[in-house]
Amino acid sequence: MRKILILLVLSLVVAVGSAQAAEKKMKVGFVYVSPVGDAGYSYAHDLGRQAIEALPNVEVKYLESVNEGADSERVFLNMARKKYDLIFGTSFGYMDPMLKTAKRFPHTVFMHCSGYKSSKNMGNYFGRMYQARYLSGMVAGAMTKSNVLGYVAAFPIPEVIRGINAFALGAQAVNPKAEVRVVWTKTWYDPAKEKEGAKSLLDVGADVIAQHQDSPGPQEAAQERGVYSIGYNTDMSQFAPKAHLVAPIWNWAPYYMEVLNSVKDGTWKAGSTWNGLAEGVVDLSPMGAMVPEAVKATVMARREEIKTGSYVVFGGPVLDQAGTVRLTAATPDDIDLLSMDWFVKGVIGTTE
């Protein structure tokens, strides 16, 4: 009788133990502001999500098209209630809702992309896309004949302004006569409107169209007029093979792996991460066949210099539109880049 009892207890212990081991599966959630299938910003994050989904003992889910504000707060709350271990939110407007939720669920790790707030269990991260934009600007500056580059931009927020400035500096580095004309669409994803924006730039003589949006609308406009384009987020060459010179792209998979592993082994700490070309989170897509080898070589050489730190984008002196020196340091403070609300010399347009 006693033997049986011991056996029973033992088997119970084993059963509970193995059940716990099986339950150790980590739950990870991603929240996106736009649909994944947009070939753009959320799509790039989702490629990173798919990479960690392939790992063992991880359950990864996502929710797309979640409005910023009240809706996102509910989504974060519900993920936390469902005992997700790690939650990524990839839109700026998720910052405050995520911070509120993080306070209520101190054992869940929150990661916010593109903002600036953090707490004990909430970190923020983004990529130095401006480095890749600078390189794409060099390509545009080398390829333009009219010296007018068009830039279809989303919203006048620092992230976008920084990208335009870096693009302009890159273009001027190879072509001092290049100017960048900007239109604001006030949209992240509106193919028709963004295409119209590109057309208005083509009408004022732009012969290379760059963009900071998630739709390939501007690419199509450039191809239809027989001029060049610069993509964004992912390689957009499939949408405009004849126009697409190059695209500054996101590559989130390695970073998401790193975060996941640090949460798993308990070494994760809240903080701000702003990686760039050196860490591989941003990069350039392959350049189109129309880009001459000499241009490719110049751009790739500069890419190496930025990677190793021997060249710094936004290293002073940097002049604004009025010609006033705004950045003097050889390596600018991140805070000045993160709050950038002015255009560099050679950009035509307003930041309002």
Cβ-based nearer residue to another protein, 65 or 261? 65
Q: Distances in Å between the alpha carbon of 206 and those of 79, 149, 164, 166, 202?
A: 46, 5, 15, 18, 5
Q: How far is the CB of 246 from another protein (least distance, A)?
A: 28
CB 106 within 8 A of CB 123: no
User: Least separation, in Å, of the C-beta of 69 and another protein?
Assistant: 5
By beta-carbon proximity to another protein, the closer residue of 125 and 228 is 125
Q: Kindly state the tokens that stand for 216.
A: 């390939």
Here the tokens at position 141 are 């500056």
Identity of the residue, 116 or 311, whose beta carbon is nearer to another protein in the bound complex: 116
Q: Residues 296-326, buried b or exposed e (16+ Cβ, 10 A)?
A: bebbeebbeebbeeebebbeeebeebeeeeb
- Shortest CB 64 distance to another protein, Å: 5
CB of 32 to another protein, least distance (A): 9
Residue number with CB closer to another protein (67 or 331): 67
Interface residues toward another protein, by CB under 8 A:
29, 35-37, 61-71, 73-75, 77-79, 81, 92-93, 96, 116, 155-158, 161, 186, 338-341, 352
- Residue with smaller CB distance to another protein, 305 or 341: 341
Nearer Cβ to another protein (308/350): 350
User: DSSP class of residue 343?
Assistant: P
Q: How far is the CB of 36 from another protein (least distance, A)?
A: 8
Minimum Å gap between C-beta 341 and another protein is: 4
Q: How far is the CB of 144 from another protein (least distance, A)?
A: 29
What CA–CA distance (Å, rounded) separates 328 from 338?
Answer: 16
Q: Measured from the CB atom, is 50 or 200 closer to another protein?
A: 50
* Paired tokens of 35: 């649909």
Q: Which residue has the tokens 């059940």?
A: 19
- For 2, residues 6+ apart whose C-beta sits below 8 A from its C-beta are none
Q: Are 213 and 232 in contact (CB under 8 A)?
A: yes
CA-nearest of 108, 102, 113 to 49 is: 113
Beta carbon nearer to another protein, 64 or 224: 64
On whether the CB atoms of residues 128 and 276 are closer than 8 A, the answer is yes
Q: At 132, which helix (H) or strand (E)?
A: helix 129-143
Q: How far is the CB of 178 from another protein (least distance, A)?
A: 25
Least distance from another protein to the Cβ atom of residue 107, Å: 18
Instruction: Extract the tokens encoding 81.
Output: 């209630």
For residue 88, give the amino acid letter. F
- Structure tokens that stand for 95 in this block: 């910052």
Rounded to whole angstroms, the Cα distance separating 300 from 317 reads 24
Q: Which is nearer to another protein, 36 or 86 (CB)?
A: 36
